A and B are shown apart, each in its own frame.
Chain A
Amino acid sequence: MPEGSASLQLAVGDRVVYPNQGVCRVSAIDVKEVAGQKLTFVTMRREEDGAVVMVPQGKVVSIGVRKVATAEDVERIFEFLRSDSDKADLDWKQRARTNLDRMTQGGILGMAEVVKGLQVLSELRPLPTKERELYDNARHLLVMEVAAALGTAEVNAEDAIDIVLFPPGRERPKRTAAEFQRDEDELGLDGDLMGLDGDLDLPPDEEAPAESSEEEAPEEGEEAEAEEGEEAAPKKRGRPPKAKAEAPAGGEAPAPKKRGRPPKPKPEATAAAGGEPPAPKKRGRPPKPKPPEAEGAAPAAPKKRGRPPKAKPPESE
């Protein structure tokens, strides 16, 4: 018996679940010669569309193939979905990694966790496209497995799941980001320490456009930061400013420390003299210094683009 297949005995006709593919039926187990080696292959046919996949018997367990869930498992899934959970990972990278693991190795409970987690998250804000696709995929696989486990039609399986997720006669609650932070607060973690600060950490391409107007200012460059420094600093993401050890007693509270490069100190002379503020610095490459020209001289002809004209040969008469 090859290593790794000890815990999963398959026979022709068994129904199994291939991770991320769905419910398959074992159609053959035979020995084939591949590159001079004799290997036992398990041939599985996906029930949904008849797609065939052959897996070496030694790899069956390691890729996550498992038997179809039982009715008791499905009952546990309903219990899990019924539980009022507001746990959702607000860090999209962490969420994506966790969901990927759940989909490949989590079994039917993993798929239910993905569906529940994304559904809870959608009560806070609409899901981004990738997560909406993941939700649809996870829901499809869950529905197919529940239908196979209960021996019922797919629509009935889906309705059975959704009666739990969307109880009849009740609307889904609207959630706020603060609700999602509650668990972290209970654990004694500061929300700011987690880099959340009441806002979602979204993939860079899926930032909510409404938020961008306020948050674009710090990214515009040093000038913008310097100008903003005197105004009330907007709420920032990331770590909170560290408390200074030697705070002046009775003095003004120090401005919160900003991320990135500190603003350049303003020239004191201008500020002290109360003169006109300097013109805002232009972005981009500074203009080239003009060559010293003699006053009154005619301006140089504009430089022509392209190849310079060939030097004409001296005409001889």
Chain B
Amino acid sequence: MIRVVTLDSFDDKQLAKLNRTLYTAFGVGSEHSGTADVPAGLSEPLDAEKLVDQVKGIRSYQDDKVLLLTLRKLKERELPSGMAPTQGFARFGKDRAVLSVHPHKDLEAGYKAIARHALHQLGHLWELHHCLDPRCSMYPPWTPSFAQGEPIFCTFCREKSEQKIRLAKS
């Protein structure tokens, strides 16, 4: 089950549309599971890693994947090979990811790009790596063509995610 938890206020219809897209892409249920507060001490731009680790008050079952959705900007990550543009972050193979709608003002404004990012981060939660196919949502998200693509997976990533979902313990 995919649980979308909002850290800011979003329109319910837009959230329902996002949930439908996630359901179509992964083949598992997706729902809006309430809201949570940004931990005290974190200011904009938010540190994505700390945010994922420190958000409290989220109820989920084993093998549920939680997607935190925020309007606020995330801080770029400094990596050994350079700065990584960060619109989202996910712990590989774990259960929590965060996605920022920024620079769009809401979900509807940049729906395709946001949905593609959501698929990308949830894909990391299901142990998908970056893909070579520019049409796939697992393509590196900082490439110029990423935002123009559809929120879909390539055959390889789709099959791999389905396999991971099937092998889930619960």
Contact = CB atoms under 8 A, between A and B. Distances in A.
B142 A168 contact: yes
B17 interface: no
Interface string A117-130: 01100100011010
Contacts of A185: none
Nearest to B48: A155
Contacts of A126: 132-133
Interface of B: 49, 77, 79-85, 89-93, 124, 129-130, 132-134, 140, 142-145, 156, 160
6 contacts: A126-B132, A129-B156, A136-B156, A155-B91, A166-B142, A166-B143
Given A143-B129, A162-B130, A166-B142, A153 B79 contact: no
A140 B132 CA distance: 14
A169 B129 contact: no
A136 B134 CA distance: 16
Contacts of B89: 155
A164 interface: yes
B80 A155 contact: no
A211 to B, nearest CB: 21
Nearest to A155: B92
Contact of A163 (B79, B91, B132): B79
Contacts of B140: 162, 166
A48 to B, nearest CB: 8
Given A163-B82, A163-B84, A166-B140, A155 B124 contact: yes
Contacts of A135: 132
Given A156-B77, A159-B77, A163-B83, 15 more contacts: A71-B80, A74-B80, A118-B132, A122-B132, A126-B133, A127-B132, A139-B129, A139-B130, A153-B92, A155-B91, A163-B81, A166-B143, A171-B143, A171-B144, A171-B145
A175 to B, nearest CB: 13
B73 to A, nearest CB: 17
B132 A153 contact: no
Given A132-B156, A162-B140, A166-B142, A156 B79 contact: yes
A135 B95 CA distance: 25
